[in-house]
Amino acid sequence: MLKEISKDYITSTNPNASFNINTGSESNYYQLKLPYQITYEFCSGIGENDYMNAITFSEDASFYARDSFYGHDRAFHDHPLHFHDYYEIMIVLSGTVTQRIEDVDYKYPAGTCCLINRGIRHAENFDTEASILFVGLSTSMIGELFTVAEHSSFHSEKEFMKSDLYKFIISDLDNPDRKAYLDMIPAFKSLSGCKPLHEMATEMLNTMMFPHFGSSYKMRSLLSELLFFISSNANYHCTEVEMGMGNDQLLFSRIDHLMDEKNGRISRAELEIALNYSGDYLNRIVNKFTGMCLYDYGMTFCLKKAADELITTKESITSIAQNLQFSNRTHFYSLFEKQFHMTPKEYRTKMTK
């Protein structure tokens, strides 16, 4: 059953069974009463006739709410931020959203994720037509899933324990007031990562909507699959963010990850698509932190890779240059000498003695 709060806002008759919500003038505090909860939010757009829909599932009950976009936007700007006693993973399935973290706004395009710890005050808003999956995990649920990995008979399952995500949570469990989060952007080779995320989200929602014998075990399996997928270096670049790191610094870190993955051979247009910022703005960010333009900064990664290949392989210098997309041998030699103050041949001889 639904009830109408206003002409724009309707909600389930029963309150959300997943949370206790303690309101305050500066922030709201959410306490998760169950091991985990899943919330799916969809916004049809940012016009006057658009709506935001949210449905929350737990093992105990479900809760639905619909608000006009303007109502949701007004709440984002006027209401205090919230924090909680559980870990929350935000997964942007489509569109672009703004995550306000401790009064700083960060853009999250489709495919990106964010793991919020228990000390961060935050709120989310829609920039476009978009959909988001929120996964709330209690500390007891984290402990249950991690214990399975730690005691698994599968050696490969223990590889998860080497991930940045696992290390972040383990170090964070004893520090509930710590203000930190994980920023996760898709690896460039995994920009199509939205498809498996959509599949996992759909499977979770279907399992929660139509539970049957074994569904509780299935959900724990799906939660483990999600943690494994977003923790994999093959799928995501992960940055641990302590409060004090501004938006520009975080964006530079994202650029840095993608430059490193592509050995600097990533175009301005490709970065625009991956990060959802204009090339001019990305160029200004790189210049702010390095004094270089995007192209020159990318070339430092390319030459670093060339230097590494000279030391660690027996590939010819010509082959190394070609593999790094240098069509002109003279140009490669000129840039290499400028960077390392010796020719590639001299560098190889010196460093492999």
Domain extent for 295: 257-351
- 58, 36 Cβ separation under 8 angstroms: yes
Longest dimension (CA), the chain: 78
Boundary residue ending a domain (245, 272, 288): 245
CA gap 339, 42 in Å, rounded: 49
Boundary residue ending a domain (245, 280, 297): 245
252 inside domain: no
129 inside domain: yes
Strands (E), 144-232: 180-186
DSSP state, 81?
Answer: E
Q: What strands lie across the sheet with 10-12, from one edge to the other?
A: 2-4, 10-12, 62-68, 51-57, 36-43, 130-137, 87-94, 113-116, 180-186, 236-242
How many domains does the chain divide into?
2
Same domain flag for 216 and 171: yes
Same domain flag for 62 and 138: yes
Same domain flag for 225 and 335: no
Q: Which residues contact 81 (CB under 8 A, 6 or more apart)?
A: 27, 28, 100, 102, 103, 121, 122, 123
Q: What would the two tokens of residue 162 be?
A: 């080497």
Tell me how crowded residue 315 is: count the other CB atoms within 10 A of its CB.
Answer: 13
CA gap 286, 294 in Å, rounded: 6
CA gap 30, 292 in Å, rounded: 44
Q: Which residues contact 23 (CB under 8 A, 6 or more apart)?
A: 80
168 inside domain: yes
287 inside domain: yes
Same domain flag for 143 and 266: no
Same domain flag for 103 and 54: yes
Vertex 144, ends 142 and 150: CA angle to 5°?
A: 95
Same domain flag for 225 and 296: no
pLDDT the model gives residue 31 = 94
Element at 322 (helix H, strand E): helix 317-323
Same domain flag for 16 and 56: yes
Same domain flag for 125 and 175: yes
Same domain flag for 293 and 163: no
Residue 275, domain CATH: 1.10.10.60
332 inside domain: yes
pLDDT the model gives residue 192 = 59
251 inside domain: no
pLDDT the model gives residue 191 = 58
Strands (E), the chain: 2-4, 10-12, 19-22, 27-32, 36-43, 51-57, 62-68, 81-84, 87-94, 96-101, 104-109, 113-116, 122-126, 130-137, 180-186, 236-242
The Cα-based distances of 24 to 87, 116, 243, 295, 314 in angstroms read 21, 20, 22, 48, 65
54 inside domain: yes
Q: Which residues contact 67 (CB under 8 A, 6 or more apart)?
A: 8, 9, 51, 52, 75
CA gap 118, 138 in Å, rounded: 10
- Write out the chain's pLDDT in tens, 353 residues: 778 888 788 998 888 878 888 887 778 999 999 999 999 999 999 998 999 999 999 998 899 999 999 999 998 998 899 999 999 999 999 999 999 999 889 999 999 999 999 999 999 999 999 999 999 999 999 999 999 999 999 988 899 999 999 999 999 998 888 899 999 999 987 655 578 899 999 999 999 999 999 999 999 999 999 999 999 998 999 999 887 777 898 899 999 999 999 999 999 999 998 888 999 999 999 999 999 999 999 999 999 999 999 999 999 999 999 999 998 889 999 999 999 999 999 999 988 87
pLDDT the model gives residue 195 = 86
Same domain flag for 223 and 270: no
Boundary residue ending a domain (216, 245, 274): 245
Same domain flag for 285 and 146: no
CA gap 239, 257 in Å, rounded: 9
Same domain flag for 227 and 277: no
pLDDT tens, position by position, 54-92: 999 999 889 999 999 999 999 899 889 999 999 999 999
pLDDT the model gives residue 239 = 92
88 inside domain: yes
- 52, 126 Cβ separation under 8 angstroms: yes
